[in-house]
Structure 1
């Protein structure tokens, strides 16, 4: 979301914290940290339309890759690319939330922060499309233009 006023998510109440039971060991703290991470991942998927679009496109890419029998290396490259786009989307969400927290009013620097964060997602998506074309292109060429 790239706007100069607070995002709709910023006006929603914060998610309820996990129960405040103090972990008894470092291992318990470590395990508990996964709850926070999954909550952040869930928040992103629930509130960010573009994250859901990334998931849908990811599903299509994986199915197409399976149909075309991509190699393990090709799948690995696609997964790194998919991860980069999704992680960029999550950092964009973080930056938007922080900017909205700090300044709910219009400020040129707030706009720059949001625009650059959104630009990072766009750049990663464009590069992922180019990588996808490099990987899928030869396979699709054979499917559509080979003489049987």
Structure 2
């Protein structure tokens, strides 16, 4: 991959900008795939998204069940981005670096709890 000038993306317009942005997004997904947690969540999504069509009783429930699963993956990618940026700064311990990483981890935990709660409620509703 060649290096671009800083801000080169800002100079692009129209379809050219969209195509390049898509390339960056795919690169981000590939980078996320190298993280164990993201792979685990992606495998969970492969199971849960199709299951949402059986658990949900209408299109809105199916959409919410799918959305909370995808939300976990989004938060995991953001957490990984935070961790990567902190690690680039340097390997030495710093209280602010720890706080940033801990908050990213807490965000992942909250997204997982949200996902579990929504799924539990939907299954409970389906079974009752």
Mapped to 2, the partners of 1:65 and 1:98 lie a distance apart of 35
Instruction: Return the structure number with greater helix share.
Output: 2
User: How many residues of Structure 1 are paired with residues of Structure 2 in the alignment?
Assistant: 124
Q: Which residue of 2 aligns with 1:124?
A: 111
- Per-residue deviation at 1:62? 2.4
Report the TM-score when normalising by structure 1. 0.73
Q: Which residue of 1 aligns with 2:18?
A: 30
Report the TM-score when normalising by structure 2. 0.83
What are the Cα deviations for residues 73-131 of structure 1, in whole angstroms up to 9, with x where unaligned? 11110122122211110110110011111122111221111111011001110111001
Compute the RMSD of aligned alpha carbons: 2.4
Q: Which residue of 1 aligns with 2:27?
A: 39
The answer to whether 1:55 aligns with 2:42 is yes
Work out which of the two has the higher radius of gyration on C-alpha atoms and give 1 or 2: 1
Higher RCO (Cα < 8 Å, 6 or more apart) = 1
Q: Where do residues 1-148 of structure 1 align in structure 2 (5 Å cutoff)?
A: 16-17=1-2, 26-27=13-14, 28-45=16-33, 47-68=34-55, 70-139=57-126, 141=127
Gap regions ≥5 residues in structure 2 = none
